[in-house]
A and B are shown apart, each in its own frame.
Chain A
Amino acid sequence: MERPDGEEALGLLRRMLLIRRFEERAAKLRAGGLIPGFLHPYIGQEAVAVGVCAALGDDAVLTSTHRGHGHLIARGADPARMFAELFARTTGYNGGKGGSLHMIDAALGFLGANGIVGGGIPLAAGAALQLRRAGRTAVGVTFFGDGASNEGSFHETLNLAALWKLPVLFVCENNLYGEFTRQDRHQLITDVAERASSYGMAGVVVDGNDVLAVRDAAADAVARANAGEGPTLLEAKTYRHRGHFEGDMGRYRPKDEVAAWMARDPIDLFAQRIQDEWDLPEEAVVQVRAEVEQELDKATAWAKEQPHPVPSGALEDVYVETYEGAVLR
C-alpha cells in the first residue's frame, strides 16, 4: 500500500489511541462497579486491529473474539454505544443483552465479539462464501489468538477456505499467551503462520506492533483474496500489556518479557514515527490525544445517562418477530 499522508497517519494514531483510552476507562469503570461481567483488555495490540481495518473496504465482514473492543473501534464503531452496552443499557449495541463478550455492529459488517474461542473463525469463512455467491468481491476477516489456533474450528475452516479459495483473512494475533499458558507450552511452532502451508494457503508473519506493516500485509492479503487466490493466514506478533481479563494480574509472565514489549508500545512507536517522518505541526499529536479524550468524555457521559432495560425485556428477541434481512453494506 502507498505510504499514508500526514492526515491518514494521524487518523491511524487516533484510532489506536481511541482503543487504548476506551479500554483504560472501561477497566477503571469496571473497578468502580459500573460494568458487570467480564472484560478482556486489548491494550497493547491496537496496531493489529487498526492496521488490518485500514486495509479493508466498507463491504468487508468481520468476526472477532472475547477481546473484541479494539476490533470494533478500529472498524469505526461508536464508543458511546459500546460504553452503553458495557453499562448494560438499552441503547447499547446489544440492548444490554450482550455485554463486552458479545458486542456487535452489523451495520459495520461486524458480526460480533465471541465468548467461544475459535467460534468466529468458521463464521468469517461462511460470510466470505456468501459474499462470493452474491457476486461481491468483499472479503471475510476473522481475528483470533494463538491459543485459538489449537481449536478444531481453526483447522477445519482453514482447510475448507483454502480448498474453496474463499476470500478470507485469518488474522492471528499472537500475543504469546492463551489465557495463562505461554505459546511454547501450548504449541511447538513459533510461527502460527506456518500452519498455512499444510492447508495450501499463504502464511505471512508481520510485526503486530507496527501499524503500517500490518496494514500493508493485510492489503496484500485482500489483493490475493480479490484476485481469486484464496485465503491468507496473517500472523501479527504482539503482546497484551495487561492480564488476560481485568482482575488477572498476569503474574505468570516474566518481568523482563513484559518490559521488553512495553518498550515497544505500538502507540508510542507510531507517535514517535509521525513526529520523525511526517511534516506535521509539532502539536498535531497532542491535539489528537486531546480529541480522543473529548470524544470519550462525551461517550461515557452519554452512556451513563442511558436507560436500564425493563426486566420483562429479557424474554424478547428469543425468536424473530420481524426480520428485515441481513444488514450488509
Chain B
Amino acid sequence: MSRFTYADAVRQAIAEEMERDESVFMIGEDVGEPGGVFGVTKGLWEQFGPDRLWDTPISEEAIVGAAVGAALVGGRPIAEIMFGDFVTLAMDMIVNQAAKIHYMTGGRLSAPMVVRMVTGTAGSTAAQHSQSLESWFVHVPGLKVVAPSTPEDAKGLLRSAIRDPDPVIYFEHKQLYGGRGGPAGDVVQVEPIPFGVGRVHREGEHVTIVSYLKTLHHALAAAEALAEEGISCEVWDPRTLVPFDHAGLRRSLTKTGRLLVAHEAVTRGGFGAEIAAWAAEECHDVLTAPITRVGARNAPVPYAPELESHVIPDADRIADAVRKLVG
C-alpha cells in the first residue's frame, strides 16, 4: 500500500500549484529531469516539462537571484537550495534583494517566491551538510519563514507559500522525508494552510513544549514517556516561524503556565530565544516557572554518531528538561 510521506506532500503541493497557476515554476540543481537529490521532485519533469522545471548549473546565487528577478515580473518561482547549508552562497539575493524590494519601493513591487531548502542532519552528514539556519531568516524583516513537521502541514503550507505575495523561506527536514504521515493513498487532499496558525499536537496541562520540524517528533516522544510519570505535556507547533501565532501560544501557556522550546538549531541565538523573549514579555502574567530552551549544544555538527547525538537534542534531553521544569 502506498503511503503519503512528507516528500510526497512537497511534490504534490508543487504539482497542484503548478496545475492551478501557469506562472509557478521551479528552478534548482537537478530538480528537473533527475527529480532532485532527495527524489522530492520525481516525475514533475515528465508531467510539466522543462519550461516548468529548470535544472540549473551549480550556481546558488544565480538560482535565487533569477528567482527574484522572475518574481518581480510576474513569475511565481520555487527555488530549491539542495542543502540549506549552501544558502550561504545566495544570501545577498535573499537578504538584500528579495527581502527588501517591497519596502524599498514603497510597496510598489514584491518578489513572490519560495526558497525551499533541506535542513538539519540526516546522521553523520557533518558540519557543512547538517545545519539548521532558520533563525538567520527570521531575523530579516520582509521574509516569511515556514517549518513544517508533518506531511499534511508540508503540503498545506507549501501551497500557501507558493501563493503568498512575499518571499517565503521554506525548510524541509531531511529525516522527515520518508516518514509515514497521515492516511495512506496516492494523493492526499490538503487545503492551503494559512500562515500564523499553530497546531496543538497533543493536549496537556503541566507544560507547553513548543517545537517544529524533526524535533517536534522528539517532543512528542518525550511527552509520551512523561505521561507515564504523571507529567502532562502540551506539544505545540507554530508551523510558521514568521508570522508567528502569538495568540495560540498564549492560549496554551494560559493553560499550562510553563514553557519549554525545543529545536535542532544551536540554542544560542536560535529561534527559541525569540519565543522565550516574547513569552517573558507578553505572558509573564500566566507563567509560573522560568522559560527553558533545549537546542543543539554550541558546536558545529560533528561527523561521528556519538558526537552528533551529543550535540543534537533528542527526546531524552527534552524529557529531562521538562522534569526539571515541573519538579
How far apart are the CA atoms of A51 and B309 in the complex, in Å?
A: 41
Interface pair A314/B30, CB less than 8 Å apart? no
Q: A36-B123, A101-B129 are in contact. Are A96 and B59 (CB under 8 A)?
A: no
Binding site of B, secondary structure by majority: helix, strand, loop or mixed? loop
Q: Say yes or no for B244: interface residue by CB 8 A criterion.
A: no
In the complex, what residues of A have CB within 8 A of residue B55's CB? 181, 185-186
Q: Say yes or no for A163: interface residue by CB 8 A criterion.
A: no
Contact with A along B5-30 (1 / 0, CB 8 A): 00000000000000000000000011
In the complex, what residues of B have CB within 8 A of residue A147's CB? 57-58
How far apart are the CA atoms of A89 and B89 in the complex, in Å?
A: 31
Partner of B307, one of A114, A152, A178, A309: A309
In the complex, what residues of A have CB within 8 A of residue B33's CB? 180, 252
In the complex, what residues of A have CB within 8 A of residue B300's CB? 97, 318
How far apart are the CA atoms of A37 and B57 in the complex, in Å?
A: 25
In the complex, what residues of B have CB within 8 A of residue A116's CB? 85-86, 88-89, 128
In the complex, what residues of A have CB within 8 A of residue B88's CB? 116
**By the criterion of a CB under 8 Å from any partner CB, how many residues of chain B are at the interface?**
38
Interface pair A178/B304, CB less than 8 Å apart? no
Return the chain B residue nearest A96 by Cβ.
Answer: B304
| Chain B contacts with A in 64-108, Cβ cutoff 8 A | 85-86, 88-89
Contact with B along A71-91 (1 / 0, CB 8 A): 000000000000000001100
Interface pair B305/A148, CB less than 8 Å apart? no
What distance in Å separates the Cβ of B143 from its nearest Cβ neighbour in chain A?
A: 22
Interface pair A313/B30, CB less than 8 Å apart? no
In the complex, what residues of A have CB within 8 A of residue B307's CB? 88, 96-97, 309, 311, 313-314
Interface pair A314/B303, CB less than 8 Å apart? no
Q: Say yes or no for B52: interface residue by CB 8 A criterion.
A: no
Q: Say yes or no for B308: interface residue by CB 8 A criterion.
A: yes
In the complex, besides A118-B58, A308-B304, A318-B299, 9 extra interface pairs with C-beta distance below 8 angstroms are A88-B303, A96-B302, A96-B307, A101-B126, A102-B303, A116-B128, A117-B58, A147-B57, A151-B60
A/B interface sample: 9 pairs, CB < 8 A:
A94-B303, A102-B303, A117-B58, A179-B29, A186-B55, A312-B310, A314-B308, A315-B299, A318-B300
